[in-house]
Chains A and B, each alone.
Chain A
Amino acid sequence: MTDHLAITLTVNGACHDIRVAPGRRLSSVLREDLGLTGTKVGCDAGDCGACTVLLDGEPVCACLTPVAHAAGRRVTTVEGVGGEIGERLQAAFLRHGAAQCGICTPGMLMAAAALLRHTPFPDRACVEDALGGVLCRCTGYASIIEAVLDAAGSGAPPAPEPGGAVGVPLPRLDGVPKVTGAEAFGADEWPPGALALRVVRSPHFAARFTLGDVAGWAPGGVRVFTAADIPGENRFGTIPAYADQPALAEGRVRMRGEAVAVVAGPPDVVDALDLDRFPVTWQPEEPVLGLDRALAGDAMQLHEGRDGNILITGRVRRGDVEAGFAAAAVRAEVAVETPFVEHAYVEPEAGAAWMEGDVLVIRACTQAPVMDRDDTARLLGLPPGRVRVIPAATGGGFGSKLDLSVQPYLGLVALLTGRACRMVYSRRESMAATTKRHPSRLRARAAADADGRLLAMAFEGDFDTGAYASWGPTVAVRVPVHASGPYRVPNYHATARAVHSNGPVSGAFRGFGVPQAAIVQEILFDDLALAAGIDRLEFRRINALGDGDRTVCGQQLFGVGIRDCLDALARPWAEALAEARAVNDSRARIRRGVGVASCWYGCGNTALPNPATIRLGVTAEGRIVLHQGAVDIGQGSNTVIAQICADALGVALSDLELVGADTARTPDCGKTSGSRQTFVTGNAALRAGRALRARILALTNMGEDAVIEPEPGALRVRDGRAERRIDLAAMAPDEHGYVLAAEESYDPPTGALDENGQGAPYAVYGYGAQMAEVEVDTGLGTVRVRRITAAHDVGRAINPALAKGQIEGGIAQGLGMALMEEFIPGRTENLHDYLVPTVGDMPRIRSILIEKPDPEGPFGAKGLGEHVLIPTAPAILNAIRHACGARITRLPARPDRVLAAIREAGR
């Protein structure tokens, strides 16, 4: 282009003479022209800081920096952060588990490096100021702060002995590329010459539309694809029986952001297109927004066969609720409203696709590669075997990357043009078009006897599931099963409805509706405890489920650790209450409060099959290869599954070579969802490890306690008495190239639920309880969470460091949900109007790992990923009430709502 300028860019000490548009974002030049994809782009608006680079040593957002401003100055990116400070930081990040998904890590490292350059020994407040401009959605920032404060430190746990990996707080095995910038996320790799894609989306919540002269509109080299081009069935959905979402709309849109066309062409041309001028004529319709409208008798029905806009109703009924209420000494009732919540992972949806022979290859961020493959194949009219999905490193998912996003568009264009293509959602697009946490309107009442024993609970929840089904059915089924909390409730009736509207699609978000239900239940239990005059923690201990107790589904449980969790909080609780009392006696304006809440959560699919398969092979050269198809979106399955497998096989963890998820190379481990990977895929890994071990021991006739060691071309097997070798080179390889192999599956033993929701929906549950200590400014209604003490029963901590990271990250999301997060379609489609916690909003977190083994879990392990955010919001809300009397029933607890509630409470 004529307006390009020759400039010299000095990046990481190297000079680059380039011709660029001077007003182009530095982030774009670094990534596209110089190939330095370590600099991540999360928002293109300075809201997330992922693109932080140093300009003459000072941090700036590369996305806000015209490349002209960098001319003649020193640019430092994560690829060049090295040197003494950089290397120490990278090592500290690994040591402290400061990188989970890793997408924010380059930005964090750069911001931290700038700090340490002029303040070598910063205090915590300095670290927070320096990192305040970089958002992290995974870690809760605790480990990042620790890493920066300990950049001068050293040490790591020693490498475990063969058979001793489980239980060791090892740094994640896939951590190094995350701290060097080498990790390749969805937007970071593309074949040369790949076409760029953009999607034309509806600005209306509900409309009919007709397309105009689409071909005439497209400039040279640009092609447009519409629903008419889709070769297969234009319908997808995570649950096949409810699949209802078109990849490209057919004359009607049911939500804002719904896709109507895909545009493909050279990147610079496509970037410059004004999609607002795309030839489409809209006939907007009165949208059905919010539960009131969706449930009104005269509301437009969104989907045929879903009368009254009800997608599904879930129910659990046990005992006689009214009899329970009649016998009660204390009763309570509450209604709560929660909004849409956005996942706000720092990585927007992104990927690339190309053809390899007649196989369509899609490389994109995801939580569910096999589901992506099958759904995309159906849309494109291909057999699943002609689609290969390679998960890119995934920069956070939290449930939303279970659903298709870029995959159908990439697949369509690659298939129809034969050309490679790539696509990155803009932040606005990501927020407008992908799934959300269900808004909910929840009502519940509960009753207890004079001693505080629960007698009955009734719960009704309506969940706004938006325009398409997605995971709405899962929420409606999961919530009634869990709404009792981990407590004995002899008489119980819960219903949950998923209701369609023209809002964004509500899908999966860490907890599938259970976090919303827990808010109601835990507020209610505070009410009952107060009414009965019983300490709030004690009330929960009285009612906690124990071994052999039956749940509201009538399922008898063993290995139940909730009481242990609550017991672990007893002392911190007493101390916090005493501290709050002392502070509140002496100060008027800032009041302290303490709150507690519990969680339980069934791991895996609800009363449905849910298998995982692990392959383990030994090559003729003596390499032991673990094919692990569980996608690690930061939660740590790459490390945890390997730890389990190494111990089951009886080799050193470092002897395992890992093959990550790829539908062409790894058997199906199912989706990363439902806190199931440690439990389900972990069990498959345990079985595969044991099966291969049994085979090796049988071949060598060695005893159970033998140690297996690979060496070139052989396996050495020895115990205290003997040593034998298996000569691998002499053995014939199988179809996968392995001379010894094992492939094992595990499917949790669950049972269908009857019409009253009675049955065994999950084989394993995890438990937890958290205590929040808050400060409420009674003049402004602002809330600061000072500390959270979190006790979680993980059954067996396969990797205590990663478990702690999950807890801290879950708490951050729970805190956001409690205090600041509210997605309003059309108004908060960016990360400055939609607020997630920054480093300065986080409390001190004390994690307590309880290990009450589960009879079904691998080494006794239970799931943890979703559990951790469930108790946070209710614990904070209960603490706010304890501090100042404000009983918050509409989330988030914005300052104006808290102040109004304080006044209502009459203090």
Chain B
Amino acid sequence: MGEHFRPETLNEALDILARQPMTPAAGCTDLFPATEAQTLPGPVLDLTGIAELRGITSTAQGWRIGATTTWADILHAELPPGFDMLRDAAHEVGSVQIQNAGTVGGNLCNASPAADGVPPLLALEAQVEIASATGRRLVPLGAFITGVRRTVLAPGELVVAVHVPRAAGAGHSRFLKLGSRRYLVISIVSVAVRVVARYGRESHDAREGRAESVALVVGACSPVPVRLREAEAALVGLPLADLAGALDAGAVRAALSPISDMRADAAYRLDAAVMLLRRALAELAGEDGQ
């Protein structure tokens, strides 16, 4: 049992954290399942009283998603189609109950290989804003999570927001999650795909567009969800309708290192990752994903 601090400002929170190490808490959807006790093992720094940490704002540079923004907040936010995958992921997080409590920042800090929020945020080129009593820094999400349940957060530091650059909000996107049941399921594999298309003059028919940029991310197939730079590069410039077929399965597999567990074996995860990426690409090209 322990102390429970629930400050109302970020500065107050950072001051408390500077004095002693404690567990930052927000939605508690990962913290409570980790204990059978009826009270959160402390000391706990509860961030949910800090208004400035919650919500989505549009800035000159792009979008700022506060660390304690819930998945339900994401679902109800006005965001461009480049964020569709994040909205899809929010819809796939646990259940409505979990979406109402669980937060974006918590999902990143929990650093699960199967985190639903990480693949879309990687595909959105998200930067993690970290604060401490002595300053602030921005770390690309890809560098923020360093391993299973590990991040670069140093003692005294908190995640305060996630930033998505304006350019990364462009294009259309998909998030596909594969699990052994419909709700409340941990992914066997998940993928987030964002494609920015370039069209010829006067045409916006998806069938005539070409890929100007592509972001491909696979979750639950490596200690940290990975962005597949090599496979992405090979797709740039291709007609949208060709993307699914042109995806380099070898490059996808080479970038992943799945495990075998009670959900699926490793070989299957590799096959499924390729299949899901192809389907997401096909859907974005307006095909039905055969």
* A interface, CB within 8 angstroms of B: 1, 3, 5, 21-25, 28, 44-47, 49, 52, 55, 58-61, 63-66, 68-69, 111, 114, 128-130, 132-135, 271-272, 426, 428, 588-589, 779-782, 819-820, 822, 824, 827-828, 830, 832-833, 835, 837-841, 894-896, 899-900
B9 lies within 8 A of chain A by Cβ = no
Whether A272 pairs with B264 at a CB distance below 8 angstroms is: no
B29 lies within 8 A of chain A by Cβ = yes
Whether A780 pairs with B178 at a CB distance below 8 angstroms is: yes
- A838: chain B residues within 8 A (beta carbon): 181-185
Whether A64 pairs with B96 at a CB distance below 8 angstroms is: no
A779→B28 CA distance, assembly (Å): 37
Whether A822 pairs with B181 at a CB distance below 8 angstroms is: no
Query: In the complex where A52-B97, A66-B4 touch, is A44 in contact with B184 (Cβ < 8 A)?
Result: no
A212→B82 CA distance, assembly (Å): 62
Query: In the complex where A49-B95, A68-B6, A780-B275 touch, is A840 in contact with B40 (Cβ < 8 A)?
Result: no
Whether A59 pairs with B38 at a CB distance below 8 angstroms is: no
Whether B183 pairs with A130 at a CB distance below 8 angstroms is: no
Whether B275 pairs with A779 at a CB distance below 8 angstroms is: yes
Which parts of B140-199 form the interface with A (CB within 8 Å)?
A: 178, 180-186, 188
B60 lies within 8 A of chain A by Cβ = no
Whether A589 pairs with B184 at a CB distance below 8 angstroms is: no
- A779: chain B residues within 8 A (beta carbon): 275, 279
A840→B1 CA distance, assembly (Å): 38
Whether A59 pairs with B39 at a CB distance below 8 angstroms is: no
- B259: chain A residues within 8 A (beta carbon): none
* B interface, CB within 8 angstroms of A: 1-4, 6, 25, 27-29, 32-33, 36-40, 42, 44, 46, 48, 72, 94-98, 100-101, 178, 180-186, 188, 262-265, 267-269, 271-272, 275-276, 279, 289-290
Query: In the complex where A23-B40, A46-B32, A61-B101 touch, is A66 in contact with B46 (Cβ < 8 A)?
Result: yes
Whether A65 pairs with B290 at a CB distance below 8 angstroms is: no
Whether B28 pairs with A64 at a CB distance below 8 angstroms is: yes
10 contacts between A and B (CB under 8 A): A23-B4, A44-B32, A58-B100, A61-B97, A64-B97, A132-B183, A271-B38, A781-B268, A840-B183, A896-B268
A130→B97 CA distance, assembly (Å): 9
Whether A833 pairs with B262 at a CB distance below 8 angstroms is: yes
A63→B279 CA distance, assembly (Å): 38
- A271: chain B residues within 8 A (beta carbon): 37-39
A791→B105 CA distance, assembly (Å): 51
Query: In the complex where A832-B186, A896-B268 touch, is A111 in contact with B96 (Cβ < 8 A)?
Result: yes
B265's partner among A3, A22, A896 (CB-CB below 8 A) is: A896
| Complex: chain A residue closest to B33, CB-CB | A45
Query: In the complex where A21-B4, A779-B275 touch, is A133 in contact with B25 (Cβ < 8 A)?
Result: no
- B178: chain A residues within 8 A (beta carbon): 780, 782, 895
Whether A133 pairs with B95 at a CB distance below 8 angstroms is: yes
- B188: chain A residues within 8 A (beta carbon): 895-896
| Complex: chain B residue closest to A48, CB-CB | B184
Whether B28 pairs with A65 at a CB distance below 8 angstroms is: yes
Query: In the complex where A63-B32, A272-B37 touch, is A820 in contact with B180 (Cβ < 8 A)?
Result: yes
Whether B183 pairs with A839 at a CB distance below 8 angstroms is: yes
Query: In the complex where A55-B100, A133-B98, A780-B272 touch, is A22 in contact with B4 (Cβ < 8 A)?
Result: yes
What 6 pairs between A and B have smallest CB-CB spacing? A133-B95, A840-B182, A132-B183, A896-B268, A23-B40, A45-B33
A134→B186 CA distance, assembly (Å): 16
Whether B271 pairs with A61 at a CB distance below 8 angstroms is: no
Query: In the complex where A822-B262, A894-B180 touch, is A66 in contact with B25 (Cβ < 8 A)?
Result: yes
A819→B263 CA distance, assembly (Å): 11
A134→B96 CA distance, assembly (Å): 10
Whether A59 pairs with B100 at a CB distance below 8 angstroms is: yes
| Complex: chain B residue closest to A836, CB-CB | B181
Whether A22 pairs with B180 at a CB distance below 8 angstroms is: no
Whether B1 pairs with A28 at a CB distance below 8 angstroms is: no
Whether A46 pairs with B100 at a CB distance below 8 angstroms is: no
- A58: chain B residues within 8 A (beta carbon): 72, 100
- A837: chain B residues within 8 A (beta carbon): 181
Whether B268 pairs with A900 at a CB distance below 8 angstroms is: yes
Query: In the complex where A23-B44, A133-B184 touch, is A111 in contact with B268 (Cβ < 8 A)?
Result: no
* Nearest CB of B to A21, in Å: 5
- B264: chain A residues within 8 A (beta carbon): 894-896
Question: Which of A59, A588, A782, A895 is most buried by chain B, counting CB atoms within 10 A of its CB?
Answer: A895
- B28: chain A residues within 8 A (beta carbon): 64-66, 69
A296→B210 CA distance, assembly (Å): 63
Query: In the complex where A130-B96, A133-B94, A895-B188 touch, is A45 in contact with B180 (Cβ < 8 A)?
Result: no
- A896: chain B residues within 8 A (beta carbon): 188, 264-265, 267-269
| Complex: chain B residue closest to A822, CB-CB | B262
A178→B59 CA distance, assembly (Å): 51
- A59: chain B residues within 8 A (beta carbon): 96-97, 100
A60→B103 CA distance, assembly (Å): 13
Whether A129 pairs with B96 at a CB distance below 8 angstroms is: yes
Question: Which of A69, A128, A134, A840 is most buried by chain B, counting CB atoms within 10 A of its CB?
Answer: A69
B95's partner among A132, A272, A428 (CB-CB below 8 A) is: A132
A833→B264 CA distance, assembly (Å): 12
A52→B99 CA distance, assembly (Å): 13
A45→B184 CA distance, assembly (Å): 11
Query: In the complex where A58-B72, A839-B183 touch, is A899 in contact with B6 (Cβ < 8 A)?
Result: no
Given contacts A828-B262, A900-B268, 6 further A-B contacts (CB under 8 A): A21-B4, A25-B32, A55-B100, A58-B72, A68-B4, A428-B36
A25's partner among B39, B72, B183 (CB-CB below 8 A) is: B39
A422→B29 CA distance, assembly (Å): 28
Query: In the complex where A22-B6, A46-B33, A899-B268 touch, is A133 in contact with B48 (Cβ < 8 A)?
Result: no
* Nearest CB of A to B44, in Å: 5
Whether A24 pairs with B38 at a CB distance below 8 angstroms is: yes
- B289: chain A residues within 8 A (beta carbon): 589
- B267: chain A residues within 8 A (beta carbon): 896
Whether B1 pairs with A3 at a CB distance below 8 angstroms is: yes
Whether B96 pairs with A132 at a CB distance below 8 angstroms is: yes
A766→B287 CA distance, assembly (Å): 50
- A895: chain B residues within 8 A (beta carbon): 178, 180, 188, 264, 268, 272
- B25: chain A residues within 8 A (beta carbon): 23, 66
Whether B6 pairs with A46 at a CB distance below 8 angstroms is: no
Whether B48 pairs with A25 at a CB distance below 8 angstroms is: no
- B33: chain A residues within 8 A (beta carbon): 44-47, 64, 830, 832
B181's partner among A24, A426, A588, A835 (CB-CB below 8 A) is: A835
Whether A819 pairs with B36 at a CB distance below 8 angstroms is: no
- B290: chain A residues within 8 A (beta carbon): 588-589
Whether B38 pairs with A111 at a CB distance below 8 angstroms is: no
B97's partner among A111, A426, A841 (CB-CB below 8 A) is: A111
Query: In the complex where A819-B180, A839-B183, A894-B264 touch, is A64 in contact with B37 (Cβ < 8 A)?
Result: no
Whether A272 pairs with B32 at a CB distance below 8 angstroms is: no
Question: Which of A64, A114, A840 is most buried by chain B, counting CB atoms within 10 A of its CB?
Answer: A64
- B268: chain A residues within 8 A (beta carbon): 781, 895-896, 899-900
* Nearest CB of B to A231, in Å: 30
- A64: chain B residues within 8 A (beta carbon): 27-29, 32-33, 97-98, 101
A835→B180 CA distance, assembly (Å): 8
